Chain A
Amino acid sequence: MARQAYYYDSSKCMGCHGCQVTCKQWNEEKADKTHFVDGYQNPPKLDKDTRMIMRYYENFEKDTIPQLNLLKYQCFHCGDPACVKVCPSGTLHKTASGVVAVDWEKCIACGYCVNACPFNIPAVGAHVNKCDMCRSRTENGSADDKTSIPACVKTCPAGAMEFGDRDALLTKAHKRVDWLKSRGYDQANVYGEDILGGLGIIPVLKYPPTNYGLPANPTMPVEVTLWKDIFNPLGLLMMAGAFGMTIAHRFLTRREEGLHKSESGKGEGDVKG
């Protein structure tokens, strides 16, 4: 199955919070009473009841071109997800269409995914909570009434989002970047086409990713690779080795005991003979 993704064009986004509201509504998540802390961003971060937030990066310093950089922030559905690698219970897994899905009933709330994620996106309460690209819609809905596309994509009034085949959307994103560049946004870019196995969310940004609070080049943490890809099988081998060695020792010493007996028996016989 081709990899599904959605495209998010930060240059078209107007920061209306529509996607954030509809995300809560569709996924039936509790909304806490909050207050604005700094700028328009609210609530301040993803939590156990919030899968998606709009992030606002403002720069209105004197003598610079004013910037209001918007970023729709949620799980980026990595092609090579660290959270899936560390998940011990199989709660987090990749579907055939490349979505990092959540089977929350299996979750043991260990928090491994929270720390393994290069973006620290999953949030854990009684169980993990993160975007699953509206699997409930994409796998059951129909294209006629647009119930088969994620709630956030459907609700966007600015036309900043589109859901579909990843390759087709990448082409579209690059076209948009070229257009932005022709309009003077020299730093326009598509974020995360190749990082972490290729992100499943394709954000088009007008400025470098760091202006949107995104790491420029996140990678799979080396300690996660050491832990899960190297030590996990090695540890199993060590336990089996220690167990096997004791069994081998018991078996061999038993034979040795027998040898000693027969040898001493022979020796006595020799003396007698």
Chain B
Amino acid sequence: MKGFLLKHEKSTRIFHWVNLVVFLLLLCSGLAVFNKNLQFLAMLFGGLKNAAMLHKYLGFSYFIIPLIYIALNFNLFKKFLATISTFDEDDRKWFRVAGGYLAPLVKGDVPSQGKYNAGQKTLGWMVIGFSCVLAASGLVMIFYQSFPPGLVRWMYLVHSLTGVFLGCGIIVHFYLAAVNPSSRGELKTMLGDGYIEEDFARHHNEKWYKEMTAKSK
């Protein structure tokens, strides 16, 4: 496509969709069990009993699905990890100006960014790290009979802490990707056909744009 750059591969987009649905179901059912004021969310599943049951069994797919994706697309995953691992001066500067999203409060020029900006890199690590913690603590919670009660009690606390933090992160992620006018142009790169306008990329991901266009020339 002329004037467009492919940002996310098809397999990545499918994985994102699957993970999106699984995560939302887990978040809603988890919150229903977590806090009595959010118990109305259990109505989505037809009662708290079903919500708990779904949360328990869907939890397994929450870490099996990413493993399948990684196994099938190891090179993409490696590239992703390499991208989010590089953290240069521009990224630090990005944080100082909060990516320009808090424009009237935090002023300053937004430095040029790679394929992902510093915020997205942080979210990437947050999702990976917190998901691992959620999976580990969730396993302890399901098989609580095999662990000492003291450990299981701490896992209850850790599971709810990481779950709520990740939930908050995903709310911001959704907002910036789908609602906020200056950044929502990128929505279709993950949920749609995967392509991004060159103009948008030049503005938001200048380093990546230069890299991509240099390669094609």
Contacts and interface: CB of A to CB of B under 8 A. Distances in A.
B179 A250 contact: yes
A161 B32 CA distance: 42
Contact of A223 (B48, B144, B154, B179): B154
B interface: dominant SS: helix
Interface residues on A, range: 35 or more
Contact of B156 (A227, A233, A238, A241): A227
Interface residues of B, number: 40
Contact of A120 (B38, B53, B149): B149
B64 to A, nearest CB: 22
B195 to A, nearest CB: 26
B153 A246 contact: no
Contact of B104 (A235, A236, A243, A256): A256
A89 B156 CA distance: 16
B111 interface: no
A interface: dominant SS: helix
Contact of A242 (B157, B161, B168): B168
Residue picked from A88, A106, A224, most chain B C-beta under 10 Å: A88
A14 interface: no
A108 B101 contact: no
Interface of A: 86, 88-90, 106-112, 114-116, 120, 221, 223-224, 226-227, 231-233, 235-236, 238-239, 241-243, 245-246, 249-250, 252-253, 256-257
5 closest Cβ pairs, A-B complex = A246-B175, A242-B168, A108-B52, A235-B164, A227-B157
Interface of B: 31, 33-39, 48-49, 51-53, 101-104, 141, 144-145, 149-150, 152-154, 156-157, 160-161, 164-165, 167-168, 171-172, 175, 179-182
